Chain A
Amino acid sequence: MSDGLQTVPDARGHFGIFGGRFVPETLIPALDELEREYRKAQADPDFQREFYYYLRHYVGRPTPITYAERLSDYLGGARIYLKREDLCHTGAHKINNTLGQILLAKRMGKRRIIAETGAGQHGVATATVCARFGFECEVYMGEEDVHRQALNVFRMKLLGARVIPVTSGTRTLKDATSEAIRDWVTNVRTTHYIIGSVVGPHPYPMIVRDFQSVIGQESRQQMLEMTGKLPDVVVACVGGGSNAMGIFYPFLEDPVRLIGVEAAGRGLNTSEHAATLATGRPGVLHGAASYLLQDEYGQVMPTHSISAGLDYPGVGPEHSYLKDTGRAEYVTATDGEALEALQTLARMEGIIAALETAHAVAHAIRIAPTLPRESTILINLSGRGDKDVDIVSRALGGQL
């Protein structure tokens, strides 16, 4: 990786005006310790070897890139490629990060792990590595999400984790994250908090980005091998933004358009969406400065998305930075567009994507016909949709 990419965050964890550490004092020493340990691990060939060993033999990396031939032909424009993170163990990209962080926790001698989860994918990925490495695991999940992602709740329990339903506030990812931070403040001496996205106080946005950037590193090489050139456009969905940051990061210095797709829910003209970068203002939530959906007094607003994983009023500070510097573009897709895209991809390519991922697919479907045939779009197919079939079936007016 070139030095240019290492300029953000700065030594204090700031991405321009974003990022930083807005947390109670109690946590600052733990964040210092985490940062120290992470920098040591980064420079330690044994750590890197161990991380890549498990990525290969446990997660199933490298994940392939699939040329979406029928979809490309049908749309009649740019050729569409899919980075198949849905084929990772546990069915989404989330495990790249949980694997890295559990190895860090092991180095720090912490035996208890906590996590927050929205769709349940990060919770499952955390429960999985905790089972594999023998850690105690507790996952905070909004009560609303516990109901809409029942399958993942059961998976976590099978893996030996305890799922704690959160009944405060909006009962979704935002409140699950707050509750996980409160647990961490209380048990910080024994517990490592595995944050699931590129959010939270420094060094988390940097650590999660780095662990997830394996997606972009592989993609870069694979696209060169398959097509002889870099993709013209990379598209990924953005809730907190970990899959997007993971695939964007290794392309930051290349002439590649980077497009993040946020959840427009029932429409940007309603209050029921989660399009933070599109409609929010800079603010502070969950330990970092970033774009935020908030009212004029700074109170965080309730959000809506059909996909639990995008149903979050904040976003990673580095995405805020990439938006303001103009290096990445951020657009939106509605619940309806995501549902439509999910079905199109299923019928054309035999792949059922997660509802989160379907937002990225929707935007690729939108722009592909406007681009020439020789151009290529790479979609980060961040997760598989098994967990969502119940919601999709109900949204389409049927029942399972």
Chain B
Amino acid sequence: MSRIAERFAELRRRGEGALVVFVTAGDPSLALSERLILTIAEAGADIIEVGIPFSDPLADGPTIQASTFRALQGGVTPAQVLEMVSRVRQQTAAPLVAMTYTNPVWQMGMERFACTAAQAGIDGVIMTDMPPDEAKEWHAVAREHGLDTVFLVAPTSTPERMERVARMSSGFVYCVSRTGVTGERETLPEEVPQMLQAMRQFTDLPLCVGFGISRPEHVRAVCQVAEGAVVGSAVVSLIAREAAGGERALLSAVRQFVRELKGATEHTP
């Protein structure tokens, strides 16, 4: 069983949803990303998405765009991110998912990327701009290296597309809560439960909802209907705000926020 599947099995026993937290690797620095990821894991996050920066992040809103830009200004490369992940892996058992776009993976070579990522201790990979239709080769390569392939469904996905996403996915399915890009939002769209219900006809995989999940009350609402909630921009913008105050203050603010988020994942009967 993969580290991701084990975590979901354990959460099911405990009656909790998964808290999935995204950070951009290299923002504010790779050294700090390493400590941030460990802090986030210790504070209770169940899965951590490690963002490998790409210069043209089509699916991301202003917060993650700016974070990506800062990381790239700092000269971060995909290989360096995976090296950092291997250091993290020696210090935590938390499932780690690489989140990126197609081109950095293409340029490294799918085989080399999958091999390096798996050795570094990555458990699954999400490429936001690679729908299952284009993922035949990647799917085979990833499976060969024991990596979970996480694909996305959207509110616009038809039943045929949901079926295809289900067939190609492993670990969990990333359910995009709304039409749009990543970013903090005030409220959750009402159509989410409907999308989840439709998706469950095609898969028994855990469903995690992301895009616009920014507060504990969002996480609580999502965990009533899904197996997990993904928080990205809210954490990334907290890191950006607190980075100037020094490492200790930054880690403490992030620890506090992740604890609050994790506190909201318990299933209420």
Write the residues of chain A forming the contact surface with B, with a CB cutoff of 8 angstroms.
12, 20-30, 168-169, 174, 178, 181-182, 185-189, 281-287, 292, 294, 296-300
Contacts and interface: CB of A to CB of B under 8 A. Distances in A.
B77 interface: yes
Interface in B212-244: none
A169 B57 CA distance: 11
A253 to B, nearest CB: 29
A29 B134 contact: no
B133 A12 contact: yes
A29 B56 contact: no
Contacts of A174: 56
B131 A284 contact: no
Contact of B181 (A182, A299, A300): A182
Contacts of A178: 56, 58
Contact of A22 (B129, B153, B165): B129
B103 interface: yes
B155 interface: yes
A186 B179 contact: yes
Nearest to B105: A298
A46 B108 CA distance: 49
Contact of A24 (B78, B107, B128, B158): B128
B158 A29 contact: yes
23 contacts: A20-B133, A21-B134, A22-B129, A22-B131, A22-B134, A24-B129, A25-B131, A25-B165, A26-B156, A26-B180, A27-B156, A186-B179, A281-B107, A282-B106, A283-B103, A284-B102, A284-B106, A286-B58, A298-B78, A298-B108, A299-B55, A299-B72, A300-B103
B24 interface: no
Contacts, number: 117
Contacts of B157: 25, 28-29
A271 to B, nearest CB: 15
B235 to A, nearest CB: 21
Contacts of B181: 182, 185-186
Contact of B131 (A28, A30, A182, A298): A28
A165 B183 CA distance: 20
Interface string B44-84: 00000000001110110110010001001000011100000
Nearest to A299: B55
Contact of A169 (B55, B108, B128, B179): B55
Contacts of A28: 131, 133, 156-157, 161
Nearest to B107: A298
A24 B134 contact: no
Contacts of A284: 101-103, 106, 129
B264 interface: no
B176 interface: yes
A189 B108 CA distance: 36
Given A29-B156, A186-B180, A300 B128 contact: no
Given A25-B161, A298-B108, 4 more contacts: A178-B56, A185-B181, A284-B103, A296-B107
B78 A297 contact: yes
Across the A-B interface, the 9 shortest Cβ-Cβ residue pairs:
A298-B107, A26-B154, A186-B180, A299-B55, A298-B104, A298-B103, A284-B102, A284-B103, A25-B152
Contact of B58 (A25, A30, A182): A182
B107 A25 contact: no
A287 B79 CA distance: 24
A189 B156 contact: yes
A6 B92 CA distance: 54
Nearest to B53: A299
B130 interface: yes
A30 B131 CA distance: 14
B107 A283 contact: yes
B8 interface: no
Contact of B54 (A26, A282, A299): A299
A292 B103 CA distance: 10
B151 interface: yes
A27 B155 CA distance: 10
Nearest to B127: A22
A300 B56 contact: yes
Given A22-B130, A178-B56, A182-B181, A294 B103 contact: yes
Interface in B135-164: 151-158, 161
A178 B55 CA distance: 11
A34 B134 CA distance: 19
A226 to B, nearest CB: 45
A187 B54 contact: no
Interface in B69-122: 69, 72, 77-79, 101-108
Contacts of B103: 283-285, 292, 294, 298, 300
A102 B101 CA distance: 31
Contacts of A189: 156, 179
Contacts of A282: 106
B104 to A, nearest CB: 4
